[in-house]
Amino acid sequence: MTNKPGSHQHAADRAARGAVEAGLSPLEAKIVVHVAARGLDWQNDAELAAELERPDGRRYHRESIGRARRQITREGYIESRRLLPGQALPPRAKFKRTSHGTTLKHVIWSRFRLQVPTPRGQRTRERQRIRREEQRAQAPMTPAEILAAADAARRRIDGS
C-alpha cells in the first residue's frame, strides 16, 4: 500500500499548481498554499510571518505579508474577512481571542478553475457507500425472492 498525502497536503498541492498557473508572486503563492493547507485560516499577518520563509532563509515582514494578502484578496484568489477584537471565536477555533483581532481567510477555488478538494476521509466514505450499493445490487437472492421469481417465471410460461 502506498502512502497517500493527507487532505491538507492534497489541497496545498492543488493550490500551488493553481497559483503558479495564475502567475502569482512567490509570496502570494506561499500565502495561498498556506491558507489552502489549513482550509480556514485565522492567523494574523505576524503569525503568518513566523511560518513563511523567504528563499534566503529569512522571515517575511508582517506588512509585506499583509500587502500581498490584500492584493490576492482584491484579485479574488482568497476571501479575507476581518474579525474585530472581542468578537466571537473564529470557526473551529478553541481559544483564539486576541486583543488585536484577526483575519479569516479561505481559498476561492473557482478562481483557480479548480473544484474544492474533498477531504480524504470524505472521499473514502463516498467510495465505501458506492461499493456497498453495488454489493447490495449483486447480493444473492433470499429464499423468498427465489420463490417469487420462480412463480413469476411460471406465470409467464403458462401465459396467465
- With 80 as the cut, is the pLDDT of residue 107 above it? yes
CATH topology of domain 7-112: Arc Repressor Mutant, subunit A (1.10.10)
Do you know the residue count of the chain?
160
Q: Where do you find CATH 1.10.10 in the chain?
A: 7-112
- With 70 as the cut, is the pLDDT of residue 84 above it? yes
- With 70 as the cut, is the pLDDT of residue 143 above it? yes
- pLDDT tens digit sequence for 13-61: 888 888 888 899 999 999 999 998 888 888 888 889 999 999 899 999 9
Distance CA 38, CA 33 (A): 9
Which residue has better confidence, 9 or 96?
Answer: 9
Mean pLDDT in residue range 60-79: 93
pLDDT > 90: percent of the chain: 25
How far from chain centre, in Å, is Cα 118? 5
